[in-house]
Structure 1
Amino acid sequence: MNMTRVLSFLQMARYKKTELVEEDISSVSSIQLNEGVSTTTTHIRYHTGISVWGSRSHLEKCLLVLVASLLLIVVVLTALLSASPGFTPSPAIPSQCNFSDDNFESMCLTDTCVYTASEMARSIDKTVDPCDDFYAYACNGWIKNNPIPDGKSMWSIFGKIELQNQLIVKNILEKMDIDKVKSKAEQKARIYYDACMDANETIEALGGAPLQEIIRKIGGWNISNSGFNVQKFDFQAILQNLQNGYNLGGLFNWAVGEDDKSSSKHVIIIDQGGLNLPTRDNYLNKTSHKKILDAYLEFMTKISVLLGGNETHAKEQMSLVIDFETELANITIPAENRRDEELLYMNMTVTELEVMAPFLRWQDFFNDAFRRVNKKISNKDKVVVYASDYLKKLSRVVAKFMETDKGKNTMNNYFVWQAAKSLSPYLSKAFRDAAKILRKAIFGSEGGEELWRYCVTDTNNAIGFAVGAMFVREVFHGPSKPQAEEMIEGLRTAFKRNLKNLAWMDSETREAAILKADAISDMIGFPDYILNPQELDKQYSDLKVEPNKYFQNNIMVNFHALRKNLERLDQPVNRTRWGMTPTTVNAYYTPTKNQIVFPAGILQIPFYDGRNPRSINYGAIGVVMGHELTHAFDDQGREYDRNGNLNQWWNNKTTNQFKLRTACIRDQYSNYTLEGTKLNGKQSLGENIADNGGLKAAFNAYLDYTKNALKNETLPGLNFTHRQLFFVSFAQVWCSSMTKEASTLMIEKDDHSAPRYRVIGSLTNLPEFSREFNCSLGSKMNPVKKCEVW
């Protein structure tokens, strides 16, 4: 949710063309680890016909229950014995049939429920005591039945749904009659996708020529003998060319975003940036990351050679670029030390910025960008800086390298490498394959998904809301939206009620917190405008996309994203603007809007299906909703008031009590280990607070629902109570596997804890879980010491 996350989305905008260019958000899932797609998954929809249940006699109902249960047992056991011998969950037939309507109506026998029950049974490992390791109990079967696909480093429920969504989008795009589509934006999506698929092999024929042309335009490169002259090296010009001309990165990140202290306004925001490996530790801990650094150098050298360079010379020059990036890593502030928004925020004039960071003529830099939207920046205009120490030190680093021709040459190589690294994926196969060795070192997998999956993802990144319109029309039907809204209201009520039970909060802060909870707005499914062709077309009116011009289309998309972002300066904040496209399998909270958002992509089985028992839905999507709601009150979200403004609205005594409780969470997660390495409980603090608070709020909301429910269904063939199903459902959406390399990266980079500890950490802190599964006090899942914030 902090500015590191904001500008990580900016980097995605520049390197992957996504439209997420300024959202300050906290998401529920670790999207940065989903580096590739490699397997085909068939999307199966489950439809329930008109029910004839009510016309049956009591005897017929009882017999049908028994027959259905026996059939389910046969299906489940057959699947288990064939797919994973050794795992023997024991679905149970109802012990008696007393011919009571309540008894029959409490069991859901729709095709959706039978499927859900079967999937749950296949995932459970009955050889594990749920009071010893609930994650293993709930997920070992899933892990055994779902090995990591070739080419991927992580496999999870999120990944499976994402693949299903991609298949849906592929079918829509390929079946589209482009001449009959009313929306020009959707036509552009199809043209972009076709250009990516490259049926005419235009991309292969061009090779590296499109990128070589850009390198010549930005001043040349000595590695490829493309006209670089060190005596004419212009630091300001090349930086402006990269960032303002091609919307690429380098040295720092900047964008137009919402002002944290005046959230109804847009302002220029500047933060640290410039590293090309995932973490600063990749550069600074050279011993443990030698494999990654070696692979990075090999990747850089291969791209250089493909662009016309000599291998030996290129390797020497790229080694110096890595040294330069290491200097940047040395002055980069670690993410765990950047969690206090109030301390990071600095509002200053452009003149003050030039005094603080004189390595750049900032007014000229901004005016070079804003001339594209006919705006002008004065030296008195305000900017918000989140990395003042970094920018001060960066000025000294730049000054040192500008002292010698060798230093200037290295900086030029660094800038050209930004373009080469960012744009090479849009060139021929040889360029895309060059990255495999680096992906293998970082993620433990070479990637290499099927071309159509890559192109679906890339089209969604480029023209995501046009793709979203097609996706929504295809799959997002029925009562999903009102049912989701009903669940959110129930969670809000449960969360507010719990605030009144927290003795550590003073009454004034508690009342303000209740007002903030009431003010949290929600957006579900998709923005309404995308189903209006005229309104959707406005979003992409200045985007030019042409057949058989994949590389150039990418350049145009980059420029489109930059222009859209620059236009926001001096414009009021649109509080209904989405930061994720509808197909996204994720959810998020935006503190400056005090808003939670749930795209259509995540509102499907196993997270949500209106035909499943509510215990399943509350345990899955309900906890996700509670997670995002709790982000409004985590260690960073709590700094924003109900209007989305950063200010100190808490009583000091309550703030101190809050910090004591969050320290307990921090220490708890810091003691967990993954692949022999301890988690970083400080870095993941906000997400862990949200996980714990979301689970508690969702469980209490589910209990509230059961009080007035006309029927409270359970699943057939599973020997679980309704409440136990809630916890199993919660745990199983986090079932996942990952390579050792991906695990290491998650610990070093991700704000979220590893899936295993998202389950174990939250459940061990919730007494209600231990009561439902009869875990004795002192058992691993019911420790004596528990942490509680919300």
Structure 2
Amino acid sequence: MEALRESFLHLTFQMSTYKRATLDEDDLVDSTGDEIYPSSAMQVTLRHGPGPRCWAEKTHTERRLLVLVCALSVALFFSLITVGIFYKETHPGVCLTEPCITVASAVMGALDRSVDPCHDFYNFACGGWVRNNPLPEGKSRWGPFSNLWERNMAVMKHLLENTTMKGLSKAEEKAQRYYKACMNESKIEELGAQPLQELINQTGGWALTGSWDKNNFQEVLRTVSANYRCSPFFTVFVSTDSKSSNSNIIQVDQSGLGLPSRDYYLNKTANAKYLNAYLDFLVELGVLLGGSEETSRSLMQEIVDFETTLANITVPQEERRDEELIYHKIQAKDLATLAPAVDWMPYLTDVFAPVPLNDSEPVVVYAKDYLQKVSDLIASTNKSVLNNYMIMKVLRKMVSILDQKFQDAEQRFFEVMYGTKKSCAPRWKLCVSDTDSALGFALGALFVKATFDEDSKAIAEDMVSEIKWAFEDSLKYVGWMDQETKKAAKEKADAIYNMVGYPKFIMDPKELDKVFNDVDTLVLRRVASITVSPVCIACV
């Protein structure tokens, strides 16, 4: 029986082998695969054929599925490679350089993790910083940039005091001498109010200490504006043209007032505390300059009343937000028609000397209605009141660099206005700030050479360019803008003018010295008259 079974299996094997050897590939494709082959070693050996025969044994559906799986595997492979490259580019790794660690530490230290960011994100993000940086004595506000400014001031102090540096330009040397004069406290206290009294007399005097009846309004206006950078009735300056950022242009605007805003003057009941403190402050200054209490109060009350009239014609800030409405480009000669109370060409010539000007010089006026009204006010106001007001503006600007009695009077006024107590800030901080104000480009040249890496300026400029490109590229995909708006946005982006770090000319000693060629006169009248003795004037 066993022999018969083996014979049957052998016969079956031979028949299947014959059939497979004679069938063509089409028959194999149509085969349903229902044949059953014994699971013997010999069978396996015979079925293990070349690749094409294995592929040929697949059904049409199996082939399609296999091709699809291969295609998906290749796509997945390339997708993984692409994602890996992108991740590597966007996540270059953990930055462990000193600047990265410092910045990361500052960010982490500013957090307050006890606060739920979903309920109070501000305190979550800034609570740690606020807790670790209490408001300093004498300061009404404080922030991260305040700390940065403190560090920069320390650097500037060192540079201004380091007189052993070689190769300085004349302008940089003037900045150092200016600072040194400001730091001469013993001489400042010795002179008291005398330098300012002499300056006032040189300007034409005023009615505080005697009778005054002069017809010199135009001359005094030019002097206080050009020599002492005061802006009694309007402000005139050079800045970037908002409609052409590659060019600078003369600009005329309304001036500031003695108090922070016009509202203080217009709502006298609510602001009586501040108006009285302001008047008392001005009266005290008048007394320190040699006037009697009675004369000072009468004269300063007239000044406050005049400022109240100015406040009434001053345009509120909320009405100045649309620059398109307040931007008026004219020629210098047109100012005479707009505000005839001022001799504009002599005024502009003195203010911008030694730059030559002509009456076709372009000017942007930002307060057209105000200029017309202030011109009428000047024409209708007593000339003594106008003169006293201009001198008071000079006095206000000089108070902080006069002797201690003047500074104490100003501090008492600030305590009422801002709630700040007397600051214990050292004298050098005042003098660094004043030097920066008077000779900023010269001090800037010292600062840049000591601290600024040229590569960082290039990096910042590249960053700005990339941001600009990204903005312009995003306009293609913005659906809520119509084509006209996109075009305007593109033009505005193209008009961006990079002002990163510092202007190149300050690194050229010859160009820098040109800017301050006339600073000898400025320093003579400002520093020497206020803070130094005549002996120090010669060294400026």
Fold conserved (TM > 0.5)? yes
Asked if structure 2 preserves the Cα contact closer than 8 Å seen for 1:193 and 1:455, the reply is yes
Residue 315 to residue 538, structure 1, CA distance change in 2 (3 Å): same
Alignment correspondent of 2:367: 387
Cross-structure match for 2:6 = none
Match of 1:159 among 146, 165, 177: 146
Question: In structure 2, how many angstroms separate the alpha carbons of the residues matched to 1:531 and 1:391?
Answer: 39
Equivalent in 222, 237, 254 of residue 207 of structure 2: 222
Gaps of 5+ in 1: 1-100, 403-407, 557-790
Indicate which of 155, 158, 162 corresponds to 1:168.
155
d(CA) in 1 for partners of 2:492, 2:136? 43
> Is the partner of 2:500 in helix, strand or coil?
strand
Asked whether the equivalents of residues 250 and 273 of structure 1 are also in contact (C-alpha less than 8 Å), the reply is yes
Going from structure 1 to structure 2, the CA distance change for 1:257 and 1:515 (only over 3 Å counts) comes to closer
Q: CA deviation at 1:309?
A: 0.9
User: Kindly tell me: are residues 158 and 392 of structure 1, through their superposed partners in 2, closer, same or farther at Cα, counting changes over 3 Å?
Assistant: same
> Are 2:466 and 1:513 aligned?
no
Once residues 215 and 117 of structure 1 are traced to their aligned partners in structure 2, the CA distance between those partners, rounded to angstroms, is: 54
Picking from 167, 177, 182, the partner of 2:168 is 182
Residue 196 (structure 1) aligned to one of 178, 182, 198: 182
SS in 1 for 2:103: helix
Instruction: Return the alpha-carbon distance in structure 2 between the equivalents of residues 267 and 547 of structure 1.
Output: 26
TM-score (normalised: structure 1): 0.51
User: Does structure 1 retain, via aligned residues, the 8 Å contact 2:182–2:531?
Assistant: no
| Other-structure match for 1:736 | none
Shift of 1:147: 0.5
> In the alignment, does 2:414 pair up with 1:439?
yes
SS in 2 for 1:522: coil
Secondary structure of the residue aligned to 1:468 is helix
- Aligned twin of 1:254: 236
**Shift in CA distance, 283/525, structure 1 to aligned 2, threshold 3 Å:** same
CA displacement 1:408-460 (0-9 Å, x = unmatched): 43333212211211223232222222211222233322463211111111112
Change in Cα spacing, 1:434 to 1:367, as seen in structure 2 (3 Å) is: same
Counterpart of 1:423 in structure 2: which amino acid? M
Counterpart Cα distance in 2 of 1:309 and 1:256: 37
Q: For 2:317 and 2:181, how far apart are their aligned partners in 1?
A: 38
Within-5 A mapping of 1:259-274: 268-273=250-255
Deviation (angstroms), 1:332: 0.4
| Structure-to-structure mapping, 1:407-426, within 5 angstroms | 408-426=383-401
Match of 2:278 among 296, 303, 307: 296
Which of 277, 283, 288 is the matching residue for 1:306?
Answer: 288
Trace 1:324-339 onto structure 2 (pairs within 5 A). Answer: 324-339=306-321
Alignment match, 1:131: 118
Alignment-derived partner of residue 212 in structure 1: 197
SS at match of 2:208: helix
The within-5 A match list for 1:700-719 is: none
Is this contact kept in 2: 1:152–1:447, CA < 8 A?
A: no
1:142 matched residue in structure 2 = 129
Alpha-carbon separation, structure 2, partners of 1:162 and 1:348? 39
- Taking only the aligned residue pairs, the percentage that are identical comes to 41
Q: CA deviation at 1:260?
A: 5.5
RMSD: 3.3
Among 452, 455, 470, which residue is 2:428 paired with? 452
Q: Residues of 2 paired with 1:415 and 1:167: CA distance?
A: 35
CA contact 2:283–2:296 (8 Å) conserved in 1: yes
Q: CA offsets, 1:528-555, max 9 Å, x none?
A: 3333333333332332289999733779
In structure 2, how many angstroms separate the alpha carbons of the residues matched to 1:529 and 1:133? 47
Letter in 2 for 1:130: P
Q: Name the CA distance, whole Å, in 1 between partners of 2:248 and 2:461.
A: 29
The answer to whether 1:490 aligns with 2:502 is no
- Matched to 2:258, the amino acid is N
- Distance apart, 1:389 and its partner CA: 1.6
Change in Cα spacing, 1:181 to 1:306, as seen in structure 2 (3 Å) is farther
Matched, 1:373 2:354: yes
Contact 1:272–1:332 (CA under 8 A) maintained in structure 2: yes
CA drift of 1:401 comes to 2.4
Q: Which moved more, 1:250-259 or 1:301-310?
A: 250-259
Q: 1:181 to 1:217 in 2, by over 3 A?
A: same
Query: Retained in 2: the 8 A contact 1:194–1:547?
Result: no
Question: Is the alpha carbon distance of 1:196 and 1:550 closer, same or farther for their aligned partners in structure 2, counting shifts above 3 Å?
Answer: farther
* Structure-1 residue corresponding to 2:378: 398
**Contact 1:303/1:431 (8 A) holds in 2:** yes
Q: Alpha-carbon deviation of 1:358?
A: 3.4
CA contact (8 A) 1:192 1:546 kept: no
- Residues 256-275 of structure 1: per-residue CA shift (max 9 Å, x gap): 55666677776553322252
Alpha-carbon distance in 2 for matches of 1:492, 1:341: 22
Q: Measure, in 1, the Cα distance between the counterparts of 2:524 and 2:391.
A: 26
Give a deviation string over 1:663-683, Cα, whole Å, max 9, x none: xxxxxxxxxxxxxxxxxxxxx
Name the SS of the counterpart of 1:524 in structure 2.
coil
Q: Which of the residues 221, 224, 235 maps onto 1:239?
A: 221
1:276 is paired with a residue whose SS is: coil
Local SS of the residue matching 1:526:
coil
TM-score, with length taken from structure 2:
0.73
The structure with the largest alpha-carbon Rg is 2
Aligned-pair distance for 1:307? 0.5
- Change in Cα spacing, 1:462 to 1:548, as seen in structure 2 (3 Å) is closer
How many matched pairs? Answer: 443
Give the secondary-structure state (helix, strand or coil) at the position aligned to 1:552. helix
Maintained 8 Å contact 2:179/2:435: yes
For residues 368 and 152 of structure 1, do their structure 2 counterparts lie closer, same or farther at Cα, with a shift above 3 Å needed?
closer
Residue 433 of structure 2 aligns with an amino acid whose one-letter code is T
Counterpart amino acid of residue 491 in structure 1: I
- What amino acid does structure 2 have at the position aligned with 1:494? A
Distance 1:105 1:222 in 2: 72
Deviation for aligned residue 1:476 = 2.0
Deviation of the 1:215 alpha carbon: 1.6
Structure number with the higher helix fraction is 2
| Structure 2 gap segments, 5+ residues each | 1-87, 533-540
**Is 1:281 matched with 2:263?**
yes
Change (3 A) 1:525 1:357: closer
- Once residues 242 and 107 of structure 1 are traced to their aligned partners in structure 2, the CA distance between those partners, rounded to angstroms, is 57
Instruction: Give, in whole Å, the separation in 2 of the partners of 1:122 and 1:521.
Output: 36
After TM superposition, give the deviation of residue 301 of structure 1 in Å.
1.2
